[in-house]
């Protein structure tokens, strides 16, 4: 008898005759269940190849959440070491899973696999990951550097504002908080779309960011709700009992959240593609 439990490329049971009018949340769970074995394997590979991303994001979270955060909550390393680490761990995981801080080629490879899963298409976890990580290596590394610079600048803005905030009063203070918060949320929302666009279209870097920026604003409310939902999941996973959060991360949490992001993003990108094709067809007819 051949044991192939750890063969993550074997086909799953498939989605059982999904009704066309099935609510999207039911469709999500049906497709997630049909790919469960592959997603579990993908989670292991993702964590293995994302160790540099996790380290970068953890230190980036210390930059974004400065010492003023600890002063506000009266945290000290001697008495509140765990309380100081937990919010930074949550923010670091959020930036990896969104993914604002990620090693680009790795993220591109896994995004291709998850995009296929969200479309109910078969994907060879290892081979498709490897091929598309290699194919998107250059663009992925450029996006990695750009994103790290943006995180650095946002962290600088946040820390600078907190440092000088006592000098501001009233509406100016609230406006500054709102602007920085919105900028950070828009940046995170853009990263829902950058890698799916990268593995789907042949775009230049400027086009990737321009289209992702458009989606971040056109779908601002749904993006913010998804961002909030992911944040709540991470807070629940890490804030109550930290070891449980670490176990969930090792088993399914990263791949599950990334599958959710791709399931959300893919219909938006496909609709954009259809609109572009319709516009091009109309322009062609007008020129005839």
The domain spans of the chain are: 51-276
Residue 6 has a pLDDT of 42
Contacts of residue 111, defined as CB under 8 A and 6 or more positions apart, other chains included, come to: 132, 195, 196, 198, 199, 258, 262
Rg, C-alpha atoms of the chain: 21
Which residue is listed with tokens 């971040």? 216
Which residues, at least 6 apart from 146, have a Cβ–Cβ distance to it below 8 Å? 205, 209
Q: What's residue 1's pLDDT?
A: 38
Of residues 248, 196, 258, the one with CA closest to residue 35: 258
- Dihedral in degrees, nearest 10, Cα atoms 275, 276, 277, 281: 100
pLDDT value of residue 40:
92
CA distance 120 to 35: 9
pLDDT average per 10 residues of sequence, the chain (288 residues)? 44 50 86 91 93 92 78 64 80 94 95 92 88 96 96 85 62 75 93 96 94 94 96 91 89 95 94 78 73
* Cβ contacts of 222-226, under 8 Å, gap ≥ 24: 222/264, 223/185, 223/189, 223/192, 224/185, 224/189, 226/192, 226/260, 226/261, 226/264
């Amino acid at each position: 008898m051949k044991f192939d439990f750890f063969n993550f490329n074997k086909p799953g049971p498939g989605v059982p005759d999904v009704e066309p009018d099935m609510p999207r949340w039911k469709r999500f769970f049906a497709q997630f269940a049909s790919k469960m074995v592959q997603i579990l394997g993908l989670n292991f590979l993702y964590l293995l190849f994302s160790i540099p991303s996790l380290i970068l994001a953890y230190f980036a979270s210390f930059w974004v959440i400065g010492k003023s955060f600890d002063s506000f909550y009266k945290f000290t390393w001697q008495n509140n070491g765990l309380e100081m680490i937990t919010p930074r761990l949550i923010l670091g995981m959020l930036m990896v899973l969104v993914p604002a801080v990620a090693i680009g080629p790795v993220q591109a490879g896994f995004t291709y696999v998850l995009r296929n899963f969200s479309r109910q298409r078969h994907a060879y976890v290892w081979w498709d990951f490897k091929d598309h990580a290699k194919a998107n290596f250059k663009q992925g590394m450029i996006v990695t550097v750009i994103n790290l610079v943006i995180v650095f600048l946002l962290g600088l803005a946040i820390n600078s504002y907190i440092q000088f905030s006592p000098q501001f009063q009233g509406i100016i203070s609230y406006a500054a908080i709102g602007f920085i918060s919105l900028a950070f949320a828009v940046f995170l929302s853009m990263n829902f779309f950058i890698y799916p666009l990268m593995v789907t279209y042949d775009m230049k870097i400027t086009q990737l960011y321009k289209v992702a920026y458009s989606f971040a604003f056109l779908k601002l409310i749904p993006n913010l709700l998804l961002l909030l939902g992911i944040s709540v999941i991470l807070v629940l996973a890490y804030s109550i009992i930290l070891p449980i959060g670490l176990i969930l991360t090792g088993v399914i949490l990263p791949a599950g959240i990334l599958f959710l992001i791709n399931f959300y993003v893919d219909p938006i990108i496909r609709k954009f593609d259809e609109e572009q094709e319709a516009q091009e067809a109309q322009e062609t007819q007008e020129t005839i």
